[in-house]
Amino acid sequence: MGAIDADAHVLETPATWEFLADEDRKYMPMIVSQTFGEDVTANDGVNIQRNYWLVGNRAMGKDRNVGTEMSRAIREMEDIPGRLAHMDELEIDIQVLYPTIYLRPVTDDVKVELALVRAYNRWLASIWKQGGGRLRWVAIPPLHSPDTVRAEMEFAKENGACGIFLRGLELERDIGDPVHHPLYEIASDLDLPICIHSGNGSFVHHDFFETDTSFTKFKLAVVGAFHTLIEKKIPQQFPKIRWGFVEVSAQWVPYVLCDLEDRYRRKGWDWYENPLKDNNMFVACENTDDLPYILDHAGEDNLVIGTDYGHHDPSSEVMAVHLLKRDSRINPAIAEKILETNARTLYGLN
């Protein structure tokens, strides 16, 4: 028993795509390097982004959001014993792994998506097998191939997955759209939570904000998903599902709940005594959040915390567990819930 890092990452490498089936190797992403043009500074403010994934005709930065607190071999899952040893140093028992490349839309080619998703999920399955139960992961569903989703998610659960990955927008639709209901039925049947991570699966929305900061296209898409699910009463339609909202802080929760309560009142609907708990919703907080204020609105049973391990962005705090354990603003018993109990409930790790 110990702290659970509810949001850690893998950084995909050519080794990821070695899990492509033989007939799908023609879809293997390429790495292309910038040799001229204006430099783009990586998130660490020091290094220059040089390498890009190329999937079809779409280029996506490969080395922009890279953590500097660990070696390349550790963050790229080449040195799994080293990763586990670093987790020990950080007082982390289990990490729940999320992707990097899939935080944005990758491809809408049905065959390419299915091939790459299957390879990614099998790569994570191999990592789980080497991790001694300490490296769990959230599986990516091939949404453009709905007939394959159930079998893919069954494979994932049998191989260490503890959630189903979604972004704030998927298939050019909001998360409450009925097109997603078959996936929610699968999640219910398999007892896998729906984990909505900072990210955007809509080409239209993502590219519209391409010159904007990542806040609008990645963060607000997830906040909107939370709002949409409660406003459309989707959790009531799928009462077995646990919902996670990851890497968007929790500072927005009181505002969104206030807005939703007013909308419910205007429609003559009864509001919830504990909105998060009553809807099986969990939000990943950050050390910089005003936790006493958030706890007053969200309750103490539905917050988790992650490090964003492997990345270097405003949500990254590799020492998050250490800091929360020693946070004088909150009761140690509540900190223990955020660090372990609630995450075990969200991810079904009990």
DSSP assignment string, 235-261: HHHSTT--EEEESS-STTHHHHHHHHH
Strands 135-139 and 194-197: unpaired
CA-to-CA distance for 217 and 209, rounded, in angstroms?
A: 6
Q: What's the pLDDT at 214?
A: 81
pLDDT at res. 312: 85
pLDDT in tens, the chain (350 residues): 589 999 999 999 999 999 999 999 999 999 999 888 888 887 777 788 789 899 998 998 898 888 888 999 999 999 999 999 999 999 999 999 999 999 999 999 999 999 999 999 999 999 999 999 999 999 999 999 999 999 999 999 999 999 999 999 999 999 999 999 999 999 999 999 999 999 999 989 999 987 766 888 889 999 999 999 999 999 999 999 999 999 999 999 999 999 999 999 999 999 999 999 999 999 999 999 999 999 999 999 999 999 999 998 887 899 999 999 999 999 999 999 999 999 999 999 98
- CA–CA separation, 73 vs 77, rounded Å? 6
CB 166: neighbour CB atoms within 10 A? 25
Distance between CA atoms of residues 264 and 342, nearest Å: 27
Is this model's pTM higher than 0.85 or not? yes
Contact, 9 vs 313, CB < 8 A?
Answer: no
Rounded-to-integer distance, Cα 169 and Cα 182, Å: 16
Q: What is the H or E stretch that residue 84 is in?
A: helix 80-89
- In the CATH scheme, what architecture does the domain 4-11+67-347 have? Alpha-Beta Barrel (3.20)
pLDDT of 4: 98
For strands 94-98 and 4-9, give the pairing.
parallel
Q: Give the C-alpha separation, 200 to 169, whole Å.
A: 5
Q: Closest by alpha carbon to 16, among 127, 161, 145, 108?
A: 127
Give yes or no for a contact between 229 and 199, defined as CB atoms under 8 angstroms apart. no
- Find the distance separating the first CA and the last CA of the chain, reported in whole Å: 10
Question: What is the H or E stretch that residue 170 is in?
Answer: strand 169-170
Estimate the share of the chain in helix, then strand, then coil, as percent rounded to the nearest 5: 45, 15, 40
Q: Quote the DSSP letter at residue 24.
A: G
Q: What does the pLDDT read at residue 1?
A: 58
Burial class (CB in 10 A: 0-12, 13-18, 19+), 244: buried
DSSP 63: S
Delimit the domains of the chain by residue range.
Answer: 4-11+67-347
Measuring CA to CA, which residue among 269, 284, 318 is closest to residue 92?
Answer: 318
Give the C-alpha separation, 24 to 57, whole Å: 17
Burial class (CB in 10 A: 0-12, 13-18, 19+), 66: buried
Backbone φ and ψ of 124, nearest 5°: -65, -35
Q: What is the 3-state secondary structure (H, E, C) of 6-54?
A: EEEECCCCCCHHHHCCHHHHHHCCEEEECCCCCCEECCCCCCEECEEEE
